[in-house]
Amino acid sequence: MPRWRIPAALAAAGLMLAGCANPSVGSANDDPTKPVTLKFWHGWATPGEVKAVDDSIARFEKLHPNIDVKATGNVSDATINQALRAGGDKAPDVVSSFTTNNVGQYCDSGMWADLDPFMEKTGLDKRKTFPKALLDYTSYRGNQCALPLLADAFGMYYNKDAYEKAGIERPPRTMSEFEEVSKKLTVRSGRNSYKQVGYMPNFRFYQNSPDRLFAQWGPRYFDAKGDSRLAEEPATYDFFKTARRLARAQGGFDDLERFRLTFGDEMSSQNAFLTQKVAMHLDGEWRGLMLKDAKADFEWGVAPLPVPDDRAETYGRGFITGTVAGIAHSSKHQNAAWELVRFLTADTRQVVSFANAIHNVPSTFAALKSPDLDADPTFRTFFDILRNKHSKALPPSVNGGAYVVSLGDFAYSVEAGRVGDLREGLKKLDEQIDADTLQSKS
């Protein structure tokens, strides 16, 4: 399973035990210049990704011939956390995760070591090295227990041929333009079906989980105490109103849902954007490479997703996520482990090489400016989205990914018309998220 498609429910469920863990205590007294073997666990699984990881390790070992790195791939968060709870010689020293919204649990549980002391003694200035959005999702309440290891940015792919046929000159920049363009691009094939929809707004469609579109509003999920505040957030109501309007403009939820059920698998040759059943599509930077490999028989482009009309100045923003890396608290080789983490996350040549190899967005300022980066202009659109100061990632929480799952379940009910009073429904959602957070701390 590609790294950015790990279901949030599984990621959340796998970590629910971490909040009550009593992690083994490791050591930061080791000499990183002495011979040592480090165990590095990661989640990459496809042959190309594994090769890119192995090549990265080879580059590191050439710079640090005293450090031997044993890498294990295709490892889930649940497996990593079980090993860290147990501790001992079989536990990993360096770990990575594809689930940024679990960072709150990594940090709060003590499973992952605080990296600030290592950065301080080796002179790495994190604020000058990494974009703020990435630092936000790799720390929790002052504990920087992880660092970004490449990123994913979400934008809007659009069918240029469909645009030309509909007389549309440029991608929409505001939600009202988005609604208008979506309607123009929608082509019916009968009373209850379609040949093409402009944009499929239904939240069960591929990458359309509600948190990704919601990022265009820059919402605050939690208050200063860590309590859920979705019912208090004005953007929440505008977000659901906009989603309903997008659906109504193209025929309504029921017709759209019937059409969605005819789509092929996201990762197949029957992908709805590839087969031109959808003219505009929310997706990440990896989709461009897939479209090229599939030899899409239409011209396509990439642009940032539209933003709310009253936030037009934030156009260019998007949803940000990515891989995070850290040091196991139980490791007895934490200084040597830091050398590996620092190399993987902050060495410019390494970050650029890795980003080019697996077609992900670089996660440092220096790498984003490198002339050695893939020059594909559609790929570089995602660099701009990452650099945009308004771009947002999901906030870390000791609740892990459970609050995202709860929001998704609620959003499915809203779009299907099963929530009569939105405010009351959101209040109950807040209560559920807070109860899950309390349970994760017990």
Phi-psi region of 316 (alpha: psi -120 to 50; beta: other; left: phi over 0): left
Cross-strand bridge partners of residue 280: 158, 199
pLDDT of amino acid 5: 42
| Residue 385 CB contacts under 8 Å (≥ 6 apart), including other chains | 153, 154, 155, 304, 316, 317, 318, 320, 391
**Bridge partners of residue 324, in order along the sequence:** 97, 148
Mean pLDDT by 10 residues, the chain (442 residues): 42 44 71 97 94 97 98 92 85 93 88 96 97 92 95 97 98 98 95 92 96 96 94 98 97 96 95 98 93 95 98 97 95 97 98 94 95 88 94 87 94 96 98 90 69
Token reading at 364: 């440092």
Q: What was the pLDDT predicted at 406?
A: 96
- Kindly report the backbone phi and psi dihedral angles of residue 331, in degrees, each rounded to the nearest multiple of 5, phi listed first: -65, 135
The predicted pLDDT at position 28 comes to 84
pLDDT value of residue 231? 98
Kindly tell me the sign of the dihedral angle through the C-alpha atoms of 161, 167, 168, 169.
positive
Instruction: Give the integer Cα–Cα distance in Å for 362 and 351.
Output: 6
Separation CA 288–CA 274 (nearest Å): 11
439 and 402 Cβ atoms separated by less than 8 Å: no
Specify the domain boundaries for CATH 3.40.190.10 within the chain: 3-152+320-387, 154-314
Q: Contacts by 312-317 with C-beta closer than 8 Å and gap 24+? A: 312/173, 312/174, 314/216, 314/218, 314/388, 314/390, 315/173, 315/174, 316/384, 316/385, 316/388, 316/390, 317/215, 317/216, 317/218, 317/385, 317/388, 317/390, 317/391, 317/392
Q: Domain 154-314 belongs to what topology?
A: D-Maltodextrin-Binding Protein; domain 2 (3.40.190)
What does residue 105 show for φ and ψ, rounded to 5 degrees?
-75, -40
- Assign domain 3-152+320-387 one CATH number from 2.40.420.20, 3.40.190.10, 3.40.50.720, 1.10.3720.10: 3.40.190.10
Please give the pLDDT value at position 14. Answer: 44
Confidence (pLDDT) at 338: 98
Task: Return the percent helix, strand and coil in the chain, to nearest 5.
Answer: 45, 15, 40
Closest CA to 377 of 302, 433, 295, 307: 302
Residue 322: closest CA among 1, 53, 101, 114: 101
Q: Where are the beta strands (DSSP E) in 292-400?
A: 300-303, 320-327
Query: Beta 320-327 vs 94-97: how paired, if at all?
Result: antiparallel
Residue 187 contacts residue 194 (beta carbons within 8 Å): yes
Q: What is the pLDDT of residue 190?
A: 80
Q: What is the pLDDT of residue 89?
A: 84
Per the structure block, which two tokens stand in for 250?
């193209």
- What local confidence, expressed as pLDDT, does residue 124 receive? 98
pLDDT score, position 86: 84
Contact 370, 390 (CB under 8 A): no
Phi and psi at 306, nearest 5°, equal -60, 160
Amino acid 23: pLDDT: 56
| Residue ranges of E strands in 7-84 | 36-41, 67-72
